[in-house]
Amino acid sequence: MQLRMQRLRNLLAGTWSEGQGDGATLLNPSTEEPLALATSDGLELAAGLAFARREGGAALRALTFADRGKLLGAMAKRIHEHRDELIELAMRNGGNTRSDAKFDIDGAMGTLAHYAEIAAGLGDVRVLADGDSIQLGRAPRLAGRHVFVPRRGVALLVNAFNFPAWGFGEKAACALLAGMPIVCKPAASTAIVAHRLVEVVADVLPPGAVSIASDLAHELPSLLQYGDVLSFTGSSRTASLLRALPSVVSSAVRLGVEADSLNSAILGPDVEQGGETYELFLSDVVREIRQKTGQKCTAVRRVFVPAALRERVRDDLVERLRDVVVGDPFAEGVQMGPVVSAAQRASVLEGACRLAEHATVLLGQSGVSPLGVPAGQGFFVPVTLLEAKDASAAVLHELEVFGPVATLFESPDDTDELVDLVARGGGGLVCSAYTDDRALATELVLGLAPHHGRVVLGSQKIAGQAVGPGAVMPHLLHGGPGRAGGGEELGGLRGLALYSQRTALQGDRALLDAIVKG
């Protein structure tokens, strides 16, 4: 299908309209062909936010949790109906392989469907109980109870370029179910998928419940006010700018940050080469380096292996990564597409060079011959595997190279020292540890958990059904401390907290219970 150069429409104040000027030109990163123009210049962004607060907020708050869940279910159904079209758009605008594109689109659909199911279980209530009643006096009648109610504002969802669909779905599911209207601000480079997604779901929602703008001037966050939520996903550099906004500093606007992370995979010294746990480790690491061309916040960037297995792991990883077929995702047999833009390619190549100052290059770093595109075209990078020469070099633990690049380290024998090395990442989204030794697994969990939002334990017992560390499940928390942003998304009902006010109620137990039961 040949795409016509199009102008992405913005949905603000219940009306679809085009911005003025040319804005950003969105490209196909394999061919560098221009695909669309994105801009919201000249549109009334503040009025759009006000409409969402007033109309969308009121409409959502009038609904029960079960009713809001039906809306999420209808959104998931719409995405399913447009699945093939969305996958193709993600391949064209994001440089995704078909399987990478499915990961994004199905991730959005699955997350919305999961929250639709949770909502059905909550029933016809408009107040969400947080725990049971607590007796406050000597007699049981005087009680206290915590409840969640929707915040009276708008949730601005600012997303990163790498997951235009899932990034929308995971934030939208929690915000809408909590009862907040959403305004989406997708990343410019891959905005086609996000805009099309909103186009296909908008009319199942009440007017004002969902809006979208390609605000290239980055004005939207500064237009937020008391009661609003700013839910951000992107780099820690941009997060720092948002944290300094006067409205955020004064705490009028609640900020949730999902930022970057140098995720680690650890192989336990008990693991035998060739066994099920070893194979699970290898296949997870290979997938997490290659999938989405390494443009995943949860991708494995650092690999820690015991001295006795270092050579074996090195050879196995090189063997499996060497033959990854890079090229235009529409070409037969391609396993890894380009990165999303010329700027990302420059950043990945430059980052790999900086890592290589302290590491031996085992594979990649430069030189790639993409399949299906003329030489010199497209934003392609090679899979790059490095081996640390100096495990204490700060750059190896601190520089997130957002591409298919990872560094191999020899683990110290002492578990505390290993944990200290991993912790030099400064807070991460996910760490995976592969071991069948229960005592070691426990020790690692206690050491690693304070530094990560999620710890994945790979072992022989679950090898056949394991979900890799890079897949974010709606059941479990997503986020992490430190440079990962300190945010908490998803995790079932926990994900609603950002968009809700938790309030303590005090009074007659029967009255409190009646309010909670609706």
Q: Name the residues that contact ligand NAP, by CB under 6 A.
A: 158-163, 185, 187-188, 216, 218, 221, 233-235, 238, 241, 258-260, 297, 400, 402, 429
What distance in Å separates the CA atoms of residue 179 and residue 128, rounded to the nearest whole number?
A: 11
Residues in the chain: 518
Give 444: exposed, middle or buried? Use CB within 10 Å, 0-12, 13-18, 19+.
Answer: buried
What distance in Å separates the CA atoms of residue 214 and residue 245, rounded to the nearest whole number?
A: 20
Q: How far apart are the first and last CA of the chain?
A: 51
Residue 258 CB, shortest distance to ligand NAP, in Å, is 3
Query: Helix or strand or coil: residue 153?
Result: coil
Does the active-site annotation cover 258?
A: yes
Q: Residue 448: enclosing H or E segment and its boundaries?
A: helix 438-448
- Cα–Cα distances in angstroms (integers) from residue 188 to residues 39, 50, 80, 269, 450, in the given order: 9, 23, 24, 45, 34
When the beta carbons of 259 and 266 are compared against ligand NAP, the nearer one is 259
Which among 418, 419, 410, 429 has a CA at the least distance from the CA of 482?
Answer: 429
Does the active-site annotation cover 184?
A: no
When the beta carbons of 190 and 411 are compared against ligand NAP, the nearer one is 190
From the list 88, 170, 258, 288, the catalytic residue is 258
Residue 321 CB, shortest distance to ligand NAP, in Å, is 21
SS3 readout for 213-278: CCCCCCCHHHHCCCCCEEEEECCHHHHHHHHCCHHHHCCCCEEEEECCCCEEEEECCCCCCCCHHH
When the beta carbons of 175 and 259 are compared against ligand NAP, the nearer one is 259
Residue 320 CB, shortest distance to ligand NAP, in Å, is 24
E-strand ranges in 79-189 read: 128-135, 142-150, 155-158, 182-185
From the list 174, 184, 297, 431, the catalytic residue is 297
Residue 220 CB, shortest distance to ligand NAP, in Å, is 7
Residue 411 CB, shortest distance to ligand NAP, in Å, is 24
What distance in Å separates the CA atoms of residue 401 and residue 348, rounded to the nearest whole number?
A: 6
Which among 258, 248, 58 has a CA at the least distance from the CA of 153?
Answer: 58
Residue 205 CB, shortest distance to ligand NAP, in Å, is 22
Closest residue to ligand NAP, based on beta-carbon distance: 234
What distance in Å separates the CA atoms of residue 486 and residue 20, rounded to the nearest whole number?
A: 37
Pairing of strands 128-135, 34-38: unpaired
When the beta carbons of 240 and 360 are compared against ligand NAP, the nearer one is 240
Q: Hey, which residues are catalytic here?
A: 258, 297
